Amino acid sequence: MAKAHGVTLFRRVRRAASVGSVFGSSARGSVTAEFAIVLPAVVLVLALCLGGVAVTAQQVRLQDVAADAARILGRGESFVVAQRYVQTRLPGTTLSAELRESAVCVHLALPIAMPGASVLALTTKATSCALAGGR
């Protein structure tokens, strides 16, 4: 009787595996559902990471242009020359300058050029000073 019981149990397990109720097609459906839930989250995290890299690169470019504009004004060039330089390098940048004792300081602001950032109205800002030796 033990032998007959073992054969019956083996047949049940084999039949269940062939139908797909143990590790068959029903498991595939749950994996698809999990993938459908996780994929948008992964895409969102990837987009945020790439956006952060883009904003960082824009900040570095803005700081570099601010240093160049401060040197231009420090050499004694006019504000218009510095503004033209800034606009050719980074269009849409606002420029302001001030004289502090023996230094010329330049302040730049540029809206973040990233999809969705215009809704938040985020801007990157940079300040740089140079000696006013040309005056």
* Domain limits, the chain: 26-131
pLDDT band of 51, cuts 50, 70, 90: confident
CA distances from 83 to 58, 66, 110 (A): 18, 10, 13
Residue 128 has pLDDT above 90, yes or no: yes
DSSP assignment of 83-119, as one string?
HHHHHHHSTT-EEEEEEETTEEEEEEEEE--STTHHH
Tell me, yes or no, if the pTM score tops 0.85. Answer: no
What does the pLDDT look like over 65-118, one tens digit per residue? 999 999 999 999 999 999 999 999 999 999 999 998 889 999 999 988 666 655
Q: Does the structure show a pLDDT above 70 at 21?
A: no
pLDDT at 9: 55
pLDDT, residue 62, reads: 96
Reduced to 3 states (helix: H, G, I; strand: E, B; else coil), residue 126 is strand
pLDDT in tens, 26-46: 566 777 888 888 899 999 899
